[in-house]
Amino acid sequence: MDDFNSYHWHGDIIKLISKFYEIIKKDPGGKYVKLDDDAINDLFKKYQEYLTQLKEVTTRCHPEIKSKHLIDHHKIVALYIKSIIKVKPFTLLTFPLTEKITLRAKLPNEALCFSIMKLIFKGWKKQTDNIDNYCLKIPQQYQENFIKLLYLYRNKADELPVFALSHIIYLIELTNDSLFYDKSSKYFKHIK
């Protein structure tokens, strides 16, 4: 696992952020959302910083096991989420209180986290299970609640616990996979 499958995803993540911004601008209230292009590089630097910290913790706790064996895609997603919440690539400008605005436009960084999670899950499934059409579909209410949960850490990203978040991410993936594999008999063999 070279650099925990991060570097080769940078291009995809940059494209996702750009596409996400194009979409969000079309949302009600999206005209008040601005992207700081410099923050994208800061995002990758912050990810690397958090990854280094995580490697140190896992190595200290389990010196007999190389840290790369303890850092899976759930922790990778958690590190990207924590980095996005810390760096805040999007800013919501002041808007009239009478203006209708979507949750995605109100909380663009937190909503981006969900999209990054979907992107990494899809890439991981393609790489490890050779599944091209994997998709993350959870009920809208759960997605919104996840976004709101991340909002609680908006101004205290360093307090966002990576291990706890990675377990939540694991449960999201597990629930989704149960539905995905169950409905797709072609892939049912993967859960036997």
Torsion sign (Cα): 176, 181, 183, 184? positive
Per DSSP, helices labelled H in the chain are: 10-26, 37-61, 73-87, 103-106, 108-129, 140-151, 162-183
Three-class SS state of 49: helix
Between 36 and 70, the more confident residue is: 36
| The pLDDT of residue 173 | 82
Other Cβ atoms closer than 10 A to 43: 24
Question: What share of the chain has pLDDT > 90, as a percent?
Answer: 50
Confidence of residue 189 (pLDDT cuts 50, 70, 90): very low
What is the C-alpha to C-alpha distance for residues 146 and 57, in angstroms, rounded to an integer?
A: 26
What is the C-alpha to C-alpha distance for residues 104 and 110, in angstroms, rounded to an integer?
A: 8
Q: Is the pLDDT reported for residue 67 higher than 60?
A: no
Q: Is the pLDDT reported for residue 4 higher than 60?
A: no
Task: Tell me which DSSP letter residue 93 carries.
Answer: P
Confidence of residue 72 (pLDDT cuts 50, 70, 90): confident
Q: Is the pLDDT reported for residue 50 higher than 50?
A: yes
**Lowest model confidence (mean pLDDT) among 15-29, 34-48, 89-103, 136-150:** 136-150
Taking only the tens place, the pLDDT of each residue in 100-112 is 999 999 999 999 9
